[in-house]
Amino acid sequence: MAIKNTFRMTFGSLSENVGIARVTAAVFAAQLDFTINEIEEIKVAVSEAVSNSVIHGYGNESGQVELVMNLYEDNVEYIIKDCGRGIADINQARQPSFSSDPERMGLGFVFMESFMDELAIETQVGQGTTVRMIKKVQLNKTH
Partner 1 sequence: MKIITVLKQGVLIVRVEGELDMHSANEFRQTIDNALDNNEAKHILLNLEGVDFIDSSGLGVILGRYKRVSLLQGQMLAAHIQPQVAKIFDLAGLLKIIKVYNNESEALACI
Active site residues: 48, 52, 104
Asked if 40 is part of the footprint of partner 1 (rule: CB under 8 A), the reply reads: yes
Taking phi over 0 as left and psi of -120 to 50 as alpha, with beta for the rest, 97 belongs to left
Taking the C-alpha atoms of residue 39 and residue 24, their distance in angstroms, rounded to an integer, is: 11
Question: Of residues 63-82, which lie at the interface with partner 1 (CB under 8 A)?
Answer: none
CA 8 to each of CA 35, 69, 81, 107: distance values in angstroms, whole numbers, following the listed order: 24, 6, 11, 26
Asked if 48 is part of the footprint of partner 1 (rule: CB under 8 A), the reply reads: yes
Asked if 12 contacts 62 with a C-beta cutoff of 8 angstroms, the reply is yes
Q: Which of 31, 35, 92, 114 binds partner 1 (CB under 8 A)?
A: 114
Asked if 123 is part of the footprint of partner 1 (rule: CB under 8 A), the reply reads: no
Q: DSSP assignment, residue 55?
A: I
Q: Which of 94, 111, 136, 137 binds partner 1 (CB under 8 A)?
A: 111
Asked if 10 is part of the footprint of partner 1 (rule: CB under 8 A), the reply reads: no
Asked if 54 is part of the footprint of partner 1 (rule: CB under 8 A), the reply reads: yes
Closer to partner 1 at the Cβ: 24 or 72?
A: 24
Closer to partner 1 at the Cβ: 51 or 75?
A: 51
Rounded to 10 deg, the angle between the 16-29 and 36-52 helix axes is 140
Which residues are paired to 12 by β-bridges? 64
Taking the C-alpha atoms of residue 70 and residue 76, their distance in angstroms, rounded to an integer, is: 6
Q: Which of 18, 69, 87, 121 binds partner 1 (CB under 8 A)?
A: 18
Taking the C-alpha atoms of residue 65 and residue 58, their distance in angstroms, rounded to an integer, is: 9
Interface residue list for partner 1 (CB under 8 A): 15-16, 18-19, 22, 37, 40, 43-44, 47-48, 51, 54-55, 99, 101-108, 110-111, 114
